[in-house]
Amino acid sequence: MKIQMKHHVMIIGGGIVGCMTAMELVGRGCRVTIVERNQIASQTSGESSWAGGGIILPLLPWMYSEQVNALTNTAANAYRVLSERLQRETGVDANFEQSGFLLLPNFDLQAAQHWCTSNQVPIQAVKASAFGVQSLSGEDALWLPSICQIRPPYLMQAMRKWLEQNNVSMLENTQLMPLQQTDVLNEWQTTNGDKLSADQFVVTSGAWSFDLLKDTSAKLNIKPMRGQILLYKPQKNLEQIVYREGFYMIPRRDGYLLAGSTLEDVGFDASVTDAVREEISAKAEAIMPSLKDQPIIKHWSGLRPGTPENLPTIGAHPSIENLYLNTGHFRYGLTMAPASAKLVVALMLGETPLIDAKPYACELND
Ligand SMILES: Cc1cc2nc3c(=O)[nH]c(=O)nc-3n(C[C@H](O)[C@H](O)[C@H](O)COP(=O)(O)OP(=O)(O)OC[C@H]3O[C@@H](n4cnc5c(N)ncnc54)[C@H](O)[C@@H]3O)c2cc1C
């Protein structure tokens, strides 16, 4: 499609997936509006992007399909370039770091080595004690020095500022109603009764996407999956991300340490619980005993857009001509956002995408 200067795209949802999609569209000369029921780059009621840990890697990549990896493999480079650009153009530092990833047992050594070798990711057998951490099931650990992280609240602030500077309209505190089936989408109604129009629309509404489209013909399997996380400021911090059997700790450059997280199927309940606080702190102290004397500074949760196999839906709505979806990134939406935005924008503009779009296509409901 040849884009006219005035081609107007409306994005529903201002999390990382919506903001990244907006940035990609701005780069193609589109006029972009983001509609967000709360505030972009803040956390009000469970928005996932603010809450995330920011590890730029699936946990663990060799346990996921090729289709998941196709969206995550280029993420570290994309964020390296993007964070430099955001810093230069907005002055906001998203805290991109190559902090490395220490994998404590138990793990599948052969699968890890095979994946790292095939993907040119350096890997080294090490002793956990050399990194100052306790390994409960043996000393032999794996060290992946090239793995990176970014700090989600800072990334979101930088993205927001960049979008403002590049004339993206932000309709905040504006919630769209669930959509009714139609052939072409001319207007989408807000809960206040306003009708918003655009040439094309993209749903990037995270865990809320199913409800938004359930009265249309799209087959969507997305539900909220809560994740809780704790924040410490230890006297002596880790220097690398540490992962052990589904649990991780992420050191930040200003001395904070994140520990998490949970995968809870509790609907749209974004509260935090004492039971999880105890569970996470026990796991953290087992790896880093010095945390026993340290206060927990903050405890929060986010609602991930949960999907089977962690596979997002990216592409055209099956029967509404000018509606697209970019949603359902579950545990790795921060990691997937750059490739996912490129893919949906290529499809919207009728270009050949860099990766095969078929695995992410939205099917018709039976
Ligand atoms: C504890 C935790 C740790 C995580 N750690 C990592 C990690 O280390 N690495 C990684 O890659 N990923 C991680 N994730 C996952 C990642 O955060 C998500 O996959 C990603 O944030 C999803 O982004 P999103 O933009 O689709 O959703 P969201 O950030 O939830 O954004 C959706 C937006 O849509 C808005 N919206 C919804 N309905 C409407 C409506 N009707 N009208 C207007 N606006 C609407 C919402 O308010 C929301 O702001 C983690 C998540 C959690 C909770």
- Residue 268 pLDDT > 60: yes
> Can you list the positions of beta strands (E) in the chain?
8-12, 31-35, 101-103, 124-127, 140-144, 169-171, 187-189, 195-197, 200-203, 218-219, 223-232, 241-244, 247-251, 257-260, 296-306, 313-316, 323-327, 363-364
> What is the pLDDT averaged over residues 100-109?
96
Q: What's the gap in Å between 191 CA and the centre of ligand 1?
A: 21
Average predicted confidence (pLDDT) for the chain: 96
> What is the pLDDT averaged over residues 197-211?
98
Instruction: Tell the burial category of 15 from Cβ atoms under 10 Å away from its Cβ (0-12, 13-18, 19+).
Output: buried
- Ligand 1 atom with the shortest distance to the CA of 72: 11
Tens digit of each residue's pLDDT (9 = 90 or more) over 43-55: 887 789 999 999 9
Our answer on whether the CB atom of 13 is closer than 6 Å to any ligand 1 atom is yes
- Residue 101 pLDDT > 70: yes
> What is the pLDDT averaged over residues 291-317?
97
Our answer on whether the CB atom of 212 is closer than 6 Å to any ligand 1 atom is yes
DSSP structural state of residue 5: T
pLDDT of residue 272: 98
- Residue 1 pLDDT > 90: no
> What is the pLDDT averaged over residues 198-221?
97
Pick the residue whose CA is nearest to atom 25 on ligand 1: 15
- Tokens standing for residue 313: 């839906």
Could you give the strand order of the β-sheet that contains 241-244, starting from the edge strand earlier in sequence? Answer: 124-127, 140-144, 101-103, 241-244, 247-251, 257-260, 223-232, 296-306
Q: Which of 342, 296, 264 is nearest to 46 (CA)?
A: 264
Q: What's the gap in Å between 94 CA and the centre of ligand 1?
A: 17
- Ligand 1 atom with the shortest distance to the CA of 248: 8
- Residue 11 pLDDT > 70: yes
Q: Are 316 and 364 in contact (CB under 8 A)?
A: no
- Tokens standing for residue 166: 């590049």
pLDDT of residue 294: 94
Measure the CA–CA gap between 102 and 143, rounded to whole angstroms. Answer: 5
- Tokens standing for residue 234: 């230890």
- Ligand 1 atom with the shortest distance to the CA of 336: 11
Q: Which pLDDT band, with edges at 50, 70 and 90, does 135 fall under?
A: confident
pLDDT of residue 335: 98
Our answer on whether the CB atom of 312 is closer than 6 Å to any ligand 1 atom is no
Q: How far apart, in Å, do the first and last CA atoms of the chain sit?
A: 30
Estimate to the nearest angstrom the gap between the alpha carbon of 144 and the chain centroid.
21
- Counting residues of the chain whose pLDDT is more than 70, the rounded percentage is 98
Q: Are 333 and 48 in contact (CB under 8 A)?
A: yes
Q: What's the gap in Å between 18 CA and the centre of ligand 1?
A: 9
Q: Which residues fall within 8 angstroms of residue 115, CB to CB, at 6 or more apart?
A: 61, 62, 121
Q: What's the gap in Å between 332 CA and the centre of ligand 1?
A: 10
Our answer on whether the CB atom of 54 is closer than 6 Å to any ligand 1 atom is yes
List, in order of start, the domains of the chain with CATH numbers: 8-79+152-219+309-364 (3.50.50.60), 83-146+223-308 (3.30.9.10)
- Residue 173 pLDDT > 60: yes
Tokens 């994740």, residue located: 227
Measure the CA–CA gap between 48 and 24, rounded to whole angstroms. Answer: 21
Cα angle 103, 235, 135 (rounded to 5 degrees) comes to 25
pLDDT of residue 285: 96
> What is the pLDDT averaged over residues 63-70?
98
Our answer on whether the CB atom of 224 is closer than 6 Å to any ligand 1 atom is no
> What is the pLDDT averaged over residues 215-231?
97
pLDDT of residue 4: 52
**Pick from 128-137, 147-156, 347-356: least confident:** 128-137
Q: What's the gap in Å between 221 CA and the centre of ligand 1?
A: 16
pLDDT of residue 223: 98
pLDDT of residue 5: 55
Measure the CA–CA gap between 219 and 216, rounded to whole angstroms. Answer: 9
> What is the pLDDT averaged over residues 249-269?
97
DSSP structural state of residue 55: B
Our answer on whether the CB atom of 69 is closer than 6 Å to any ligand 1 atom is no
Our answer on whether the CB atom of 261 is closer than 6 Å to any ligand 1 atom is yes
Q: Which pLDDT band, with edges at 50, 70 and 90, does 139 fall under?
A: confident
Query: What is the three-class DSSP state of 64?
Result: coil
Our answer on whether the CB atom of 46 is closer than 6 Å to any ligand 1 atom is no
Pick the residue whose CA is nearest to atom 16 on ligand 1: 333
- Residue 2 pLDDT > 60: no
Candidate of 48, 196, 247 to mutate for ligand 1, largest count of ligand atoms within 8 Å of Cβ: 48
Cα angle 180, 184, 187 (rounded to 5 degrees) comes to 65
Q: What's the gap in Å between 139 CA and the centre of ligand 1?
A: 36
Tens digit of each residue's pLDDT (9 = 90 or more) over 323-365: 999 999 999 999 999 999 999 999 999 999 999 999 999 999 9
Q: Are 353 and 207 in contact (CB under 8 A)?
A: no
- Residue 260 pLDDT > 80: yes
Measure the CA–CA gap between 64 and 3, rounded to whole angstroms. Answer: 36
Instruction: Please give the backbone phi and psi of residue 206, each rounded to the nearest 5 degrees, phi first.
Output: 55, -135
Our answer on whether the CB atom of 229 is closer than 6 Å to any ligand 1 atom is yes
pLDDT of residue 132: 84
Our answer on whether the CB atom of 251 is closer than 6 Å to any ligand 1 atom is no
Q: What's the gap in Å between 334 CA and the centre of ligand 1?
A: 8
Our answer on whether the CB atom of 338 is closer than 6 Å to any ligand 1 atom is no
